[in-house]
A and B are shown apart, each in its own frame.
Chain A
Amino acid sequence: AQSVTQLDSQVPVFEEAPVELRCNYSSSVSVYLFWYVQYPNQGLQLLLKYLSGSTLVESINGFEAEFNKSQTSFHLRKPSVHISDTAEYFCAVSRNTGFQKLVFGTGTRLLVSP
């Protein structure tokens, strides 16, 4: 079975500051890793994913995440945040065989203030 831990329930940050949202996972099998973003009253949108290959993955809106197998981590980073980045961020894992049932963390609320 897989599990995901997001230690920070809320991260307040000022606009244009850097941010890191932490994610650690546990699994007995190889996994895929994902970050999803959820805006109020909306479903989840895929932000980025790690399947294999380069351990650093990037999204089109400036976020990046690095897969660290030895530390079983997949932290999300952005060098300079915008007000519009305020949202809930969920880290998720799935096994890399069969159908990809997602196992989510409890989420981190990113609050960006001016």
Chain B
Amino acid sequence: GAGVSQSPRYKVAKRGQDVALRCDPISGHVSLFWYQQALGQGPEFLTYFQNEAQLDKSGLPSDRFFAERPEGSVSTLKIQRTQQEDSAVYLCASSLRQGRDQPQHFGDGTRLSIL
């Protein structure tokens, strides 16, 4: 694939359910970012991976949020016991490597709605 792929594109869940959101970065990209975009807002940083190492998770809003990238490629963002305030678009971005000349390429996002 040419770009960052996210699945599912849309997810509806009942409050209290667990959800898992998948990100397939561009092949060979070392850096991977997750952002949360609430309605009418700009994206906000959640977490960052360099290969399989999660180097920054300071943006995760609570311990219900968990992200992993076990083999340094595909990443999964998991939200446990979802709440209505978790409703947002979750964006994944990847870049070839860390560095000033490496732009972040974004996927189309997963729109999560919690009922």
Query: Which residues of A does B touch, CB under 8 Å?
Result: 4, 32, 36, 41-46, 49, 51, 90, 92, 96, 98-107
Residue of A nearest to B92 (CB): A43
Q: Chain B, 18-46, contact with A by CB distance < 8 Å: what is the 0/1 string?
A: 00000000000001010100001111110
Q: Are B43 and A44 in contact (CB under 8 A)?
A: yes
Q: Which residues of A are found within 8 Å of B108, using beta-carbon distances? A: 41-43
Can you list 8 A-B contacts (CB < 8 A)? A41-B108, A43-B4, A43-B106, A46-B103, A100-B102, A101-B48, A102-B33, A102-B35
9 additional A-B residue pairs with CB within 8 Å, beyond A90-B43, A99-B56: A42-B109, A43-B108, A46-B104, A99-B31, A102-B35, A104-B43, A105-B42, A106-B40, A107-B42
Query: Which residues of B does A touch, CB under 8 Å?
Result: 4, 31, 33, 35, 40-45, 48, 50, 55-56, 91, 93, 95, 98, 100-104, 106-109
Q: Are B45 and A101 in contact (CB under 8 A)?
A: yes
Q: Are A99 and B98 in contact (CB under 8 A)?
A: yes
Residue of A nearest to B6 (CB): A43
Given A90-B43, A99-B56, A103-B45 in contact, is the A43-B31 Cβ separation under 8 Å?
Answer: no
